Copies of this chain bind each other. A is one copy, B any other.
Amino acid sequence: MTPQQQFEAQLGTLIDKLTLLSKAQLEAQLNGYKAAEVHTIQYIGDHPTANVTQIAKAQYVTRGAVSKMTQRLMKRGLIQRYQKPDNKKALYFRLTPAGEKIYQIHAQLSRGFQQRDQSVFENVAPAEIQATLAFLEHYNQHLTQEITKRGLEK
């Protein structure tokens, strides 16, 4: 197995495991709210001046998906829509108090995830972590080039 193949394999299982763990936690704590809903609430909470298109790009989904999701969240009273006086087309969103509550619970869960894995970052040699970060950066740079080369950027 080449290092490249090893990397792919390790990355694959890592993602699977992180997904498994966070999904279970989210479901347990945010009963009644779906993962995609919470995800959008979190993004709007962090970016209260983002319009539909920007939310879509950031979450790697289509504008249609965001349009439907924001309508659903409005119906459930979790977000509010607003516009700026100088533009009748772009739509922006902010959290209602009810949405804010979800946002806070999610933020707390995120802190929990971080604490859960903190020991790994504390007990591994700092050089190993630094090398990993450097490598991921290198890989990301390469992929950015490839994306540009193919004209696939968002």
Which positions in A face B, CB cutoff 8 Å? 2-7, 10-11, 13-21, 24, 60, 114, 116-121, 124, 126-140, 142-144, 146-147, 150, 152
CB–CB B131/A20 < 8 A: no
The answer on a CB contact under 8 Å between B60 and A10 is no
Taken together, the copies of this chain in the complex come to: 2
Give the residue of B120, B131, B133, B144 whose beta carbon is less than 8 angstroms from that of A139: B120
Interface of A is mostly: helix
Residues of chain B within 8 A of A118, CB atoms compared:
4
Contact A20 B140 (CB under 8 A): no
Q: How far is the CB of A17 from chain B (nearest CB, A)?
A: 4
Measured in the bound complex, the distance between the Cα atoms of B154 and A24 in whole Å is 13
